Amino acid sequence: MPVLIDTDVAIELMRHSPYALDCVSRHDDSIYVSSVTVAELYFGAYNSARPNENVAKVRGFLENFPRVTITDEVAERFGRIKAELRRRSVQIAPFDLMIASIALENDFRLATGNTKHFAALMELQTEDWVRSTRRP
């Protein structure tokens, strides 16, 4: 099953995290980046102390992965899931929910370091590709 990498995984890969790089190397299927993650990466780069350098790093990183975007079907799934979560009084950050909707609509697993953020989405398959890089 293809994998969609969450923004935190993308950042770990850009930092050359051994654990995240190992996860990529052990993965046989395609690995994708969502347009939401692309936007978040560019925000981080432009909001940094060295925007020119970091924008170049983002562009170089993105050359390695195909993109998946927000389609009408993804938008509809987002709306359906958000309404269901609201009825259950569960909140998921909008960008996280959009990334999850992209993964679900495309039948991807989600590689993230924030598996707890997505726990309310029972149908979403997640893998932690960050856990070994966190400091206690």
112-136 pLDDT, tens digit each: 998 988 999 999 999 999 985 554 4
pLDDT tens digit sequence for 26-65: 887 799 999 999 999 999 999 999 999 999 999 999 999 9
Architecture of domain 3-125: 3-Layer(aba) Sandwich (3.40)
Query: What values do phi and psi take at 7, rounded to 5?
Result: -60, -40
What are the domain boundaries of the chain?
Answer: 3-125
Q: What is the pLDDT of residue 135?
A: 46
111 Ramachandran zone, left/alpha/beta (phi>0; psi -120 to 50): beta
Q: What is the pLDDT of residue 136?
A: 43
Average pLDDT over residues 3-16: 96
Q: What is the pLDDT of residue 132?
A: 58
